[in-house]
Amino acid sequence: MFSSHRTLKRRTPAQGIDRREYIGHLVDEYYTTTNIEAQQQVTANLANFAYDPINWSHLLEADALDVFVASLETQDQLLKVHGIAALCNLCLDKTAAKFIREQLKLLTGLFVRTDHPEIVLHSLALFYQLLEFGERTERDLLLSPAVLRTVQEWRVKAHDERIVKLCQLLLQDFATRTEVVQLQKASPNVPTAEQQSSEAGASG
């Protein structure tokens, strides 16, 4: 059993180990270890592989997407961050995107309940990409009233400008005018996304 990247490297044969095999070892390690820090190391490594499209086929073949989904169902915040970050990067792959869309209930539930800014950031980026490249019929599944309310809340309270901007873009590009009006009525003292954008431009 490999307990860390260092251990795996030490046990690697002198002639080396190819990327596909290494990713497979990491996936196996996630399921065989009971050490949370080892799982964090594994998901961090797998998430790093997800940043490069050259690794996507290897991750799919090794069933790494199941690891990322499993990490979202844990109680550990760091595992959740790694899982959602990886899915965000992988969603541009058509096969991965289909798998991810089957997890929309889990993903939106996580977004609505979390108070972790990094999870929110990656969730917003993931939602935007799914909406941008997906079927219009999926919009209602993804942008439920609960999700829209949460987007509005983070648009107001977030200190991270990346989160604020993504919230604005989601509302501007994918929410209907009626939904935006309803959100505004629910929070009458909160400026609309368009007003915030205008104010930001005027102050710039």
DSSP-derived secondary structure for 98-138? HHHHTTHHHHHHHHHH---HHHHHHHHHHHHHHHHHS-GGG
Q: How far is CA 193 from CA 1, 50, 156, in A?
A: 51, 32, 10
Q: Helix, strand, or coil here: 164?
A: helix
Please name the residues in contact with 183: beta carbons below 8 A apart, sequence gap of 6 or more. Answer: 148, 149, 152, 171, 175
Q: Which two tokens stand for residue 71?
A: 């990490």
Q: Domain 1-102: give its CATH superfamily.
A: Leucine-rich Repeat Variant (1.25.10.10)
pLDDT at residue 203 in the model: 43
Please name the residues in contact with 76: beta carbons below 8 A apart, sequence gap of 6 or more. Answer: 36, 39, 40
Print pLDDT tens along the chain (204 aa): 333 445 544 444 444 458 899 999 999 999 999 999 999 999 999 999 999 999 999 999 999 999 999 999 999 999 999 999 999 999 999 999 999 999 999 999 999 999 999 999 999 999 999 999 877 777 888 999 999 999 999 999 999 999 999 999 999 999 887 777 777 776 655 454 444 444 444 444
Phi, psi of 91 (to 5 degrees): -65, -10
Q: Are 152 and 187 in contact (CB under 8 A)?
A: yes
Phi-psi region at 63: left, alpha or beta (left = phi > 0; alpha = psi -120 to 50): left
DSSP, res 9: H
Q: Quote the CA–CA distance of 181 and 2 in Å, as a whole number.
A: 54
Instruction: Provide the whole-model pTM.
Output: 0.82
What angle do helix axes 64-72 and 104-113 make, rounded to 10 degrees?
40
CATH 1.25.10.10 domain locations along the chain:
1-102
Q: Are 43 and 67 in contact (CB under 8 A)?
A: yes
pLDDT at residue 188 in the model: 53
pLDDT at residue 2 in the model: 34
Q: Quote the CA–CA distance of 89 and 9 in Å, as a whole number.
A: 25
Chain centroid to CA 124: 7
pLDDT at residue 115 in the model: 96
